[in-house]
Amino acid sequence: MIKIFKKEVTNYFTGFMAYICASAFVLICVLFLWFFDNEFNIFNIGTATLSSFFFVAPWILLFLIPALTMRTIAEEESSGTLQWLFTQPINICGIVWGKFLAVVIVLVFCLLPTLIFIYTLNQFINETQQLDYGVFFSGYLGLFLMGTTFASIGIFTSSMTKNQVAAYVLAIFLCFILFYAFESLASYNLLGGADYYVQKLGIYTHYQQLLKGIIDTRDLVYFLVLIGIFLVLTNFNLERKK
């Protein structure tokens, strides 16, 4: 697993993919939060909060993370190196986890520069005011868990096809379904009391709980179980290909 992890991380950073993704993520967030005249602009909101960032960021990650994961296994299979990997003294689980953790490192690399937003907010508030760092922490935790969930989904779709574009599109579709589709369906109140459980199936509700500063074990377990399911499915797909 360590060898795969090192190889993938090296590829992301020497190939500039990590820097491109981080730059794109930060730039889009900066434009929406500080420059564009819209409802997400912090100056228009008039309060020292990062609620706009925590609303915009998931939608960017929904497109960004699949771009990172689409090549992880699909490229290996199309180039024929996947079969070579199977002959090496590395188990399937090690391959999956090595690639997954490499994407997680890039995710953290994308999120770290945005911490400057907190510093910037701190410069605008009065001396009598104080930022709620607990909410910021739980919000970033929510973004991290959501991003890692998207990564597990992206690696799963990459293991399903040799076509990187197909893996990318399918990953975006599944991420959207899990992130917002259940929440949207529940909002129509079509299923009566079952709407509550439909809502709980989606990522959005659990993410919103974390944005409130509430770190509930049930929300953490939800994300960890979801990540585990997609990594196990990826492992199963690779076992079949072997």
As for how many domains the chain has, the answer is: 1
Q: What angle do CA 131, 132, 137 make, to 5 degrees?
A: 120
Better-scored residue on pLDDT, 145 or 47: 145
Domain span including residue 181: 2-241
Which pTM value belongs to this model? 0.92
CB atoms within 10 A of CB 43: 10
How far apart, in whole angstroms, are the C-alpha atoms of residue 200 and residue 205? 6
How far apart, in whole angstroms, are the C-alpha atoms of residue 131 and residue 204? 25
pLDDT tens digit sequence for 32-85: 888 887 787 877 777 778 888 999 999 999 999 999 999 888 888 888 787 777
Model confidence at 188: pLDDT above 80:
no
Helices first, then strands: H and E counts in the chain: 14, 0
Work out the percent of the chain whose per-residue pLDDT is above 90. Answer: 51
How far apart, in whole angstroms, are the C-alpha atoms of residue 50 and residue 146? 17
How far apart, in whole angstroms, are the C-alpha atoms of residue 83 and residue 77? 7
Query: Residue 134 CA to chain centroid, in angstroms?
Result: 21
pLDDT at 170: 95
